[in-house]
Structure 1
């Protein structure tokens, strides 16, 4: 049986499309290639973006911003020394981009200007820290991507 050019081209296209479809179906079915959204409520987070920008601008207007350092006990978040500790409220959200099961949030309760996030709560790898805090009815935001 002799195959002409037209038939050969059609067979080549069918084989190529079958090859591509095999990989597409394999990627969609295999749990190893899970492709969830970064957050469940993506559009709600997008609406809150403007509010976050205002809070970050407020934080940058301070003489001293929130800072962090890594210690043997964990991560210490340091609040400005010029502020009164009893007027600082808010919460700290730690986001793990690789696995949302490790995300956690903790309230800010200070006795001095430092807040300790214990080492036992943190796995090695990348973390995104967001500190939402208020001082005298003004909201502030500190964001940092760290490798722990």
Structure 2
């Protein structure tokens, strides 16, 4: 058999197609590469996500929005002025992207228009804060990224 350019091109195509088929079959069979649904309760999580969107929209109802400000004493979360603070329930979740062990949650229990998160719990760097709160059976959500 004589080996020429045509035969070489056909062999190259067949080898390339075989290579691609090998990876397609490996990815479809191997359980390690199965990423059909990232979370088990995907549709339930989707409904919860819509609730988060609604709560974020509800947060825009107030004239003066929730404010998060860093002072020397710690992190202050100021709630809108015209609310009865005893009726506010919820939690403040601080998430540290670089270190999961530093994440923590603070329940909202206030007698003034602010909640104080003490300085000793906050390490310098990037923090994501999510304030999930409820007032008169209406849910609110405010999320921010902070750098200290």
Q: Under a length normalisation based on structure 2, what TM-score does the superposition of the two structures give?
A: 0.68
Cα root mean square deviation, aligned = 2.0
SS at match of 1:82: coil
For this pair of structures, how many residues does the alignment match?
110
Q: Which residue of the partner structure matches residue 64 of structure 1? A: 64
Aligned pairs for 1:1-148 (under 5 A) are 48-148=48-148
Cα separation, 2, equivalents of 1:147 and 1:139: 27
SS in 1 for 2:139: strand
**Structure 1 residue 42 displacement after superposition:** 9.9
- Given the two structures, how large is their TM-score scaled by the length of structure 1? 0.68
Looking at structure 1, the residues matched to 68 and 96 of structure 2 have their Cα atoms a distance apart, in angstroms, of 17
Long gaps (5+) in structure 1: 1-39
Shift in Å, 1:48: 2.6
Q: Which runs of 4+ in 1 moved over 6 A?
A: none
* Structure 2 Cα separation of the partners of residues 41 and 48 of structure 1: 14
- Paired with 2:107 and 2:41, the residues of 1 have a C-alpha distance of 23
- Greater Rg, structure 1 or structure 2? 2
